[in-house]
Amino acid sequence: MNTATINKTSALYKMLNQFELGDNISECLTCGACNSRCTWFDGEGGPLPRQIIRMAALGLDEQLVNSNMLWDCLLCNRCTQGCPMGISMDKVVRKARSLAIADDNIPKDIKIGIKNRIELGDVNALTKEEFVETVEWVSEEFVDEVDDPNAQIPHDIKGTKLLYLPNPRELGINLLHLTAMAKLFYATKETWTLSAHHTDVTNWGYFVGKDDIAKKMVLMVVEPAEELGVETLVLSECGHGYHALKYLLEDIIGRKPGFEVISMPELIVRYAKKGILKFDPEVHPYKIAYHDPCNIARKSGGYDAPRELLSMVCKGVVELIPNREDGVCCGGGGGILQDSTSKNKRMITGKPKADQMKATGLPNLATACLSCHRQLSELSNHYKLGIKVDTVASLASESLII
């Protein structure tokens, strides 16, 4: 058996047990509620939530880092939802991941992605020139898409009402998604733009818990957007991007930004309610299940917009059980999806989700996060569920009446 001595001067202890300030995990009641709510459920391996908290509360940094639980945790915060002392596992695990002694445990792909983003401005190392080339090429195709010779996908225009911040995949393997979003922007009849400084909604600094990196990445979005003088920053469907750039934004940068932040589904719902965007639900003449991305739903309170939108573009929404604040993680959260070696593990972490999907008996499921989308599609294949997975905004684009 391992022996250990509690250490009230450990780096983690100092960060998490600030007795005057709240967020004080020494307050843990050891009630064990978190143990019953891990999104791995009874899957093989994985974290033991109360042990994480207890090790952190007692300054057992090394034991925690060596336990492998830090990177098995999906940061879904499901376990501490309803913690009687208000402890947040997401905060605890990210702080622990940020420890210098935990650096070796950071997945290689995440280290590279962070380096690319900080040094080159994009997680996939997309250069400004490549961005312009790509967007202009897509823009040419877009004319046919909307059957309007004057239509275009604008970029780097100052003073527009809307600025779209895509997922890096939309400028890579998933260009069709970008076109689909452009169609929606076009239909809002508002001025809008893409920007060479805004190719990446992600924030992997958040995954590694390093506040300085996370802040830098946020500012890489905020400052150029302020320079462009846009009114509203529209986030591509991304869970942790939404959490960092909308829910945590003011905490991270310590001030209000010079623009409003909303997600793509929120934008679409807004314009639909104004009567500007119209949809034909017959394009998707079926009921559809909806998966709550943890970062958008439980962690940021964004429950309603995706559901409202789905009910406009399909024949109704079917809830997974459980859902909303009790929603089950897709199994790809917390940075695990970004680690290319994680496929086998992700099929274990995603098993509870796959069971949930199967229980709906439906062939269609939507979500509002491109990472969840990828993981859910892989689950559908792996577990032979035969379920087609779409993002909410792409379904809206398909149903859009122009």
Partner 1 sequence: MKKTTPNILIIGGGVAGMAAAQTFADQNVAVHLMEKESALGGHAAMWACMATDTCENCGACLSIEMADQIGKQKNIILHLNTIVETINKEKQGYEVVLENKETFRVKKIIMATGFSPFNPGQINSLHYDEYKNVITSAELNAILREERLSGYFNGKPDPKIAFIQCVGSRNREQGRDFCSQVCCKISMRHANKLTHLYPESDITLFHMDLQVIGKEVRPLFNTLSKNIALVQGVPAEILEDNQTNMLTIVAEDKLTQARVSKAFDLIVLSVGMQPAQTLEATAGMLDLKPNSWGFFNTDQAVLSKDVIIAGCANGPKDILSSKQDGRVAAAKVIEDLGLNTKKELNIAVFGQSVQADQTAMVISSKGYSTYLFGPGTSLSKDAPVTILDESNIISVSGTAGNFSLYYESGNEKKYLACAAIIAAFEPKQSLNRLDSLTNASLSLDAFSQMIEKTPDTCPGNSVILLDYFGPEFKSFARLALEISIKAKALGKNISIIMNKMLVHGALGQRLYDTARQQGVDFFRFETSEDLKFENSGTGFLIKLKEATLPSIELNLNCDCLVLPPSLTPAAGFKDAAALLRQPLDSEGFLQSANIRHRLTRSPRKGIFFAGTCHDETDQDDLNDEINDILSGFSTESFDLPEIDTGVEINQKKCAQCLTCIRVCPHAAIVMNEKNRPQIVPDSCFSCHLCVSSCPAYAIESKTLTNDQIAQKIEKDKVTILACERSAALAAGSLTLPDNITLISIPCACRISSDVILKALLNGASKVIVTGCHEENCRSLEGSNVADASVRQVLSIPGMDASKVVWEPVAANETKKFERIISKV
Residues that bind partner 1 (CB under 8 A): 1-6, 8, 17, 19, 24, 26-38, 40-46, 48, 50-51, 54-55, 58, 60, 63, 81-86, 321-322, 324-326, 355, 359
**CB of 150 vs partner 1, minimal distance in Å:** 50
Identity of the residue, 76 or 313, whose beta carbon is nearer to partner 1 in the bound complex = 76
The 10 Å CB-count burial string (b at 16+, else e) for 45-65 is ebbbbbbbbebbbbbbbbbbb
Q: Is the peptide bond before 149 cis (omega within 30 degrees of 0)?
A: no
What φ, ψ does residue 218 adopt, rounded to 5°? Answer: -65, -45
**CB of 145 vs partner 1, minimal distance in Å:** 43
**CB of 329 vs partner 1, minimal distance in Å:** 14
Beta partners for residue 163, in sequence order: 193, 233
Closest CA to 61 of 96, 88, 33, 25: 96
Beta partners for residue 389, in sequence order: 365
**CB of 36 vs partner 1, minimal distance in Å:** 4
The DSSP secondary-structure symbol of 22 reads: S
The 10 Å CB-count burial string (b at 16+, else e) for 316-343 is ebbebeebebebbbbbbbbbbbbbeebe
Identity of the residue, 225 or 318, whose beta carbon is nearer to partner 1 in the bound complex = 318
Closest CA to 364 of 316, 312, 293: 316
Closest CA to 169 of 177, 159, 181: 177
Report the C-alpha gap between 124 and 251 in whole angstroms: 27
Closest CA to 202 of 169, 229, 179: 169
Identity of the residue, 106 or 330, whose beta carbon is nearer to partner 1 in the bound complex = 330
DSSP secondary structure letters along 84-147: TT---HHHHHHHHHTSGGGGGGS-HHHHHHHHHHHHHSSTT---HHHHHHHHHHHHHHHHHHHT
Place of tokens 């004080």: 24
Identity of the residue, 35 or 191, whose beta carbon is nearer to partner 1 in the bound complex = 35
**CB of 352 vs partner 1, minimal distance in Å:** 10
Tokens (6 digits) for 255? 């001030």
Whether the Cβ atoms of residue 314 and residue 284 lie closer than 8 Å to each other: yes
**CB of 55 vs partner 1, minimal distance in Å:** 7
**CB of 372 vs partner 1, minimal distance in Å:** 21
Identity of the residue, 3 or 340, whose beta carbon is nearer to partner 1 in the bound complex = 3
**CB of 13 vs partner 1, minimal distance in Å:** 10
**CB of 373 vs partner 1, minimal distance in Å:** 25
Identity of the residue, 68 or 381, whose beta carbon is nearer to partner 1 in the bound complex = 68
Identity of the residue, 52 or 162, whose beta carbon is nearer to partner 1 in the bound complex = 52
Identity of the residue, 27 or 226, whose beta carbon is nearer to partner 1 in the bound complex = 27
Report the C-alpha gap between 40 and 52 in whole angstroms: 15
Closest CA to 302 of 390, 241, 242: 242
Identity of the residue, 6 or 402, whose beta carbon is nearer to partner 1 in the bound complex = 6
Identity of the residue, 328 or 400, whose beta carbon is nearer to partner 1 in the bound complex = 328
**CB of 62 vs partner 1, minimal distance in Å:** 11
